Amino acid sequence: MPEIEIDPTTRIEGHHSTTLQVEDGHVTEAKSHIDMFRGMEMVVLDRPPSDAPVFTQRVCGVCFTVHRMSSLLAIENAAKRAGVFGGVPETARQMRNLLERIATLWNHAVHMFALVGPDYSDAVAGTGLDRLDPMEGEGYKRALEAQRELLQGFAEFGGKAPHPLTYAPGGMSATPTAGKLQNIRDQVEFVSDWLGPTDAIPEIIENVRNGEFDADLGEGLHDIVSLLFAAKEAGADDFGVGPGRYYCNGIYPDGDGGREIPAGIYVDGELTHPEKDDITSAIHESTARSWYTDDSGGHPMEESPPKPDPEKEDAYSWGKAPRYDGMNMETGSLARLIVTERDPFDLRATLGGDPTKSSTLNRLIARAQESVLLRDQILDVLDDIEPDSTVNRGWTDDFSGEGVGLWEASRGALSHWVKIEDGTITNYQIITPTLWNLGPRDENGTPSIFEQSVEGMAVEDYENPINVMRTVRSFDPCLACSVHVESPAGTYSEEVTPASPAGVATGGDRPYAGQEVDEQ
């Protein structure tokens, strides 16, 4: 029985590989390997709660905002339960919602054009879609411009990416001036013009069907719809099919105690909207196939910080296996649209065959649909923010309590869990969407969503199992969120290339420009 090893499987972050057992041209077993150890939960121990967002946002250079946000929600939840915090001001709530939408739209642009688009481009797959060719395609390059504009808009309130500092305990630390609001609007409108108007989508679909391209209707949407049709042509509606179970934490607080996108669970064709306590009590992590000790698994509020066990028998991943009431659950844009019962322009019903089907194609369609929704929402939220209004009511680290921050990354459900005693963090856990989608098997042998979705898939070319690759990328995996690595002890040399002319000292004992330094 042939074994196929794919390493790496992603165009971002690396450190994920897949082992496939193939028999008679079909995958009989898949193992999803998360190949590095994450120890960020250990870094924040014995620190004050307000340190947690600063450190945990550095889990990843792509998902930086959502980790800071989830961490803030966790410590604010703990402070609220302890009676020392009354909630963020209305303007801070709006600013956070705005910035999170901008960051998600940016992530979707990265996903569709840089990470998934090449799989259906002419250069990679001979589809004729040369606009999606990596680095050279006009659509690819125009999308890079849009991504840059979105991050510049984000920086007006959020600070420099990927390490924004203005999401602060108790609200925000940046004031929304009229000038900054207008700057954001200008940059978002640049992106909006590139994307094209929402109501033009039916005409764009007809253009793509007829092989036409009308830039006046939006270059971005033409390229995205072309991508979806290429995926349909490749049969992506029938491969990468998961069990059709979806989990969403909800996102964007509405000011009335709810969320604009509510939490939701979709199982066996039934949609429910559980309360936060119901969700948090249902989540457990298995380390049966993970290189961690047994007590590193369990309920996130009770399990120990991760303790590596690299010699563990039957383990094959540094990722844990989160489960909801014992079930593997898919999370991401598709889950969010299913729990809100949205299928804009019936694209998943028509192209995908069923709006709730867990397929490689429907995951791509859902990100495209959500991108248009986000663009329209961002412009509306900008109108609601009052310039120069209160953004923070203060914060104290001096309390004891525990809290959970439930949020949504572009890739899906994210949660941070914290215990605090006398102003010091005593336990911390992070469960990422990539763990939900690409983790290992659990103690019952139940595979992760990705593992399940590729088992049974046909593999026509053992040297290039492209549909398996298309499937793993359809989950938009972000492995840095799932793992973290500490550099080994040792000495190495690095030459510093300065922005200023060589020979200009930087002051003190720090090296001058061009000096070779040894780092431990």
List the binding residues for Ni(2+): 60, 63, 478
Task: Tell which phi-psi region holds residue 138, choosing left (phi > 0), alpha (psi between -120 and 50) or beta.
Answer: alpha
Please report, in range form, the residues annotated as the binding site for Mg(2+).
Answer: 41, 430, 484
By the 8 A CB rule, do 46 and 421 touch?
A: no
Judge contact between 349 and 343, C-beta under 8 A: yes
504: left (phi over 0), alpha (psi -120 to 50) or beta: beta
CA dist 304 and 429 (Å) reads 9
Nearest-angstrom CA–CA distance, 262 and 246: 13
Sign, Cα dihedral of 329, 331, 337, 340: positive
- Measured CA angle at 463 (ends 462, 464), to 5 deg: 90
Distances (CA, A) of 392 to 55, 94, 168, 272: 21, 12, 8, 34
Binding-site entries: 41, 60, 63, 430, 478, 481, 484
d(CA 216, CA 197): 10
Burial class, 71, CB count within 10 angstroms (exposed 0-12 / middle 13-18 / buried 19+): buried
- Return d(Cα 426, Cα 42) in angstroms, integer: 10
CB atoms within 10 A of CB 262: 17
Contact (Cβ atoms closer than 8 angstroms) between residue 333 and residue 112: no
Kind and range of the H or E element at 232?
helix 219-233
The single-letter DSSP state of residue 113 is I
Edge-first strand listing for the sheet containing 270-272: 246-248, 264-267, 270-272
Instruction: Please provide the size of the chain in residues.
Output: 520
Helix 219-233 and helix 360-384: axis angle, to 10°? 160
